[in-house]
Amino acid sequence: MFSCFFKMKFKRFSEILLPNPFLILCLLYNPVFGSATRYQKNSSNVGDILLNIFGGPFAVVSSQDEASSACQEHSKLYLQALANMTPWAINMYDASTKIPSGLVTGNVQQLGNYDQCLRIEVQNGDVLAFRGQQCRATIHFEVTGEDSGNRTRTDTRRSLDMKDLFYAALEAAGVYDWKDTKSAPYVWAFCVPSSCSTTDVQRALQKSLSPLTVPGRVEAMVSVTSSDCHVADPTGTQLSAADLGILVLLAVVLVFLIASTSYDLIVSRKYAGKKSKGVAHSVLVSFSLTTNGRNLLSCSTSSDTMPSLNGLRFISIFWILLGHTYYMKSVSSNINNIVVKHFDQSLSMMLIMNGTLTTDTFFLLSGILLAYVFMRDRQKKQPFNLATFYIHRYLRLTPPYAFVIFFYATLLSRLGSGPLWDTWAGANRDYCVANWWTNLLYINNYINLDQMCLNQTWYLAVDMQLFWLSPLLLYPLARWPRFGKGLLAFVIFLSIIIPFAITFAERLTAVMLYNKDLLPVAAVYSFIYTKTYARAGPYLIGIALGYLLHVLRNKHISIPMVWVALGWLVSLCSCTAVVLSAAVFYDDNHKYNAFESSIYAGLHRSAWTLGVAWIAFACTKGYGGPVNAFLSWRLFVPLSRLTYSAYLCHYVVLLYNAGSIRAPGYLSEYTVVHEFAGNLMFTLVLAAVISLAFEVPFMNLDRIVIKRQPRGNAVQPSGFHSNTIHQDNREGAPSVYVISEKTSLPVVQLKSYENKAFDGGR
């Protein structure tokens, strides 16, 4: 090979660095022709077998492969063209994966050159013979037998096999405690003729790997599915009826936005300082981008809200997005995925590994605001209508939610491409097509859990179900306070006992150990994490705190500074201990104890919630100091208004990133934070669009409906959109959007946005 370089004459060193046809041929000559020759040989040597398959051109050429005649004919044509240095064949070979560096460190997902492969077109005269098709094969090895797989230096009774190589690679990676029987899945991308089916590719590769199988020691297994193979479609995919439906919906909403904004700018300004024009006028400006956008971006607050909750809300969604970015980056293609195994060795990584506690913060906020407003309205003797209570909750929550579901089921899968696009965007599309109805009924945390549409929306279902049940506690608290407080204390106790009992009975891990065996993770997710009866504790604590704040409203309470300091110390220690103590269960040397795990599972979420509850209480009653100053920062006001829409849409950004990658990345704290910064920016922009188009307008319309109802039918606010603490005295019902009567323009008052509790969960 070096003789090639000696024959090349460069006038300048820079010519070596620039693309040079002769240099490219030199780089390809040895592997192509050496591999093409080796491809025809039978060898029992592990190295030769792997080099034949993954170093040379892959083609379905044997009649015993039972491949289609067209596939075999075109595969033979490919090998002949490659031997003749035909450009399209060189492109096909070059677009396929070769043996890379870093296999030991976790570089196990090889994506080839997706775009290069799909650009290939092979003509037979004036007729298109075939196109380039990229197929990703997932290969793993089933290791059997009790020995470690390593052969001693003096053991010459057998040849080294794939099991020896596998264990040697584990040792080279620093992994000495591997207990599974299956290797990690190795993903290899091949560029093959489009005439070859997934079955053709799978059978040919399985046959090529068959010499690596040693009965009783190791077996090679191959999987190639329809979603693993991609070929260019120059005509484009025809739009379905559902695709056309969402395009029509978007067009209609756009017309409404333009018309409402135009009306607001042209007509409404004429009535500045005059009385509102009535219901018709309010409806016409409900979609106004100028009014809604101005109030969405305003940093103003009113005196009758709890501004510290804005900071808690945004910090929580910030934490959620960071955790999900870490997750998606960790399960994506990286050259050093082995580092995921060592995440638990850093205490700081517990902020990510145990970051699911943020959901409990949102449950807490939801319960606080719901209980406070419910008690206030009952004290004012306002009638309670259960049907209206439920209906308006549903109508306020569902429009943006339904749009995102519809978007997932239709347009999302058409926005990009890539070797992993169907794995991420395509799979989520299929889940939403099949299970959208479970989301809209808010029962998706119980039905088809493994194929959930918008997998983060288990939380919305839990929150809605807790809202449905909340009158069973709120009404007794308002009507029979002593009995209600006893009942609340009892169900809080049950909320601790239930996860304890389930964890003990099922022998579950204390938390989801993400970088360990996935089966225990799935068990905790299914039995505990997504179930209403196991996640109610923080919501109930929120109801208790909301009731307390109602009792203490307009009252100054004097707490000795010693007790205030103790409260902050206990809060800090409680939250820190809950987050960091999960490291004990991640320790490989820690022996599993069912009782210990059950204690943690039963108590840790309530302990975290009590710590955050103190922060909310202290900031509300004037004992927050610098913490309250930070959480009440004016910039958090507009950011907190976007949390619900950001929660709904942030996975759109994450799925696009994961599905559109073309090459393995590098996993480090810096690369994750760098990617997170972009994810946060794109998410907030997308959230603003969804909020202005689907969230705010429909909440304005819902507000108008409430105004038209009899006084006693006003809905009580819940934890999602209507969690404000101010009072609309004109009709006895709190709301998120209050239409002002002080001007002719039905302005959505700034205070109406405040403390709109996004309880979005992860």
Give the residue, 7 or 156, on which the prediction is more confident. Answer: 156
For residue 291, how far is the Cα from the chain centroid?
Answer: 32
Question: Is residue 744 within 8 Å of residue 275, measured between CB atoms?
Answer: yes
Query: How is residue 82 written in tokens?
Result: 């490659």
Give the residue-averaged pLDDT of 142-151: 64
What is the chain's mean pLDDT, rounded? 84
Whether the predicted pLDDT of 302 surpasses 80: no
Consecutive H or E run containing 445: none
Distance CA 577, CA 603 (A): 12
Tell me the helices (H) and strands (E) count for the chain, helix number first: 32, 5
3-state secondary structure of 193: strand
- Concatenating the DSSP letter of every residue in 263-317 gives HHHHTGGGGTTS----HHHHHHTTT-HHHHHHHHH-----TTS-THHHHHHHHHH
The β-bridge partners of 265 are: none
pLDDT, tens digit, 9 for 90 and up, residues 360-386: 999 999 999 999 989 988 888 888 889
Question: Is residue 2 within 8 Å of residue 64, measured between CB atoms?
Answer: no
Phi-psi region of 638 (alpha: psi -120 to 50; beta: other; left: phi over 0): alpha
Give the residue, 756 or 424, on which the prediction is more confident. Answer: 424
Whether the predicted pLDDT of 600 surpasses 50: yes
Band the pLDDT of 140: cuts 50, 70, 90: confident
Quote the percentage of the chain above a pLDDT of 70: 83
> Which region among 29-33, 131-135, 350-354, 423-427 has the lowest average model confidence (pLDDT)?
29-33
Query: How is residue 333 written in tokens?
Result: 């293609």
Question: Is residue 594 within 8 Å of residue 507, measured between CB atoms?
Answer: yes
Handedness of CA 186, 187, 189, 190 (dihedral sign): positive
Band the pLDDT of 742: cuts 50, 70, 90: very low
Nearest to 744 by CA among 442, 291, 343, 410: 291
Nearest to 268 by CA among 293, 285, 286, 287: 285
Question: Is residue 353 within 8 Å of residue 685, measured between CB atoms?
Answer: no
How many other CB atoms are found less than 10 A from the CB of residue 141? 22
Contacts 24+ apart (CB under 8 A), 519-525: 525/449
Question: Is residue 637 within 8 Å of residue 298, measured between CB atoms?
Answer: yes
Whether the predicted pLDDT of 395 surpasses 70: yes
Amino acid at 692: L
Nearest to 58 by CA among 225, 203, 211: 203
Q: Return the pLDDT at 615.
A: 97
Contacts 24+ apart (CB under 8 A), 321-324: 321/646, 321/650, 321/676, 321/679, 321/680, 321/683, 322/352, 322/355, 322/673, 322/676, 323/352, 323/355, 323/356, 323/358, 323/762, 324/456, 324/650, 324/651, 324/654, 324/762
Amino acid at 286: S
Whether the predicted pLDDT of 729 surpasses 80: no
Give the residue-averaged pLDDT of 258-273: 81
pTM for the full model?
0.87
Give the residue-averaged pLDDT of 534-557: 94
Band the pLDDT of 709: cuts 50, 70, 90: low
Q: Return the pLDDT at 103.
A: 85
Q: Return the pLDDT at 708.
A: 57
Q: Return the pLDDT at 753.
A: 33
How many other CB atoms are found less than 10 A from the CB of residue 590? 11
Domain regions of the chain by residue span: 21-146+161-231, 298-708
Q: Which residues contact 417 (CB under 8 A, 6 or more apart)?
A: 114, 230, 660
Q: Return the pLDDT at 22.
A: 41
3-state secondary structure of 186: strand
pLDDT, tens digit, 9 for 90 and up, residues 509-524: 999 999 988 899 999 9
Amino acid at 277: K
Question: Is residue 538 within 8 Å of residue 606, measured between CB atoms?
Answer: yes
Residue 278 half-sphere exposure toward CB, CA atoms < 13 A: 1
Distance CA 265, CA 248 (A): 26
Nearest to 356 by CA among 471, 261, 469, 458: 458
Consecutive H or E run containing 232: none
Question: Is residue 647 within 8 Å of residue 683, measured between CB atoms?
Answer: no
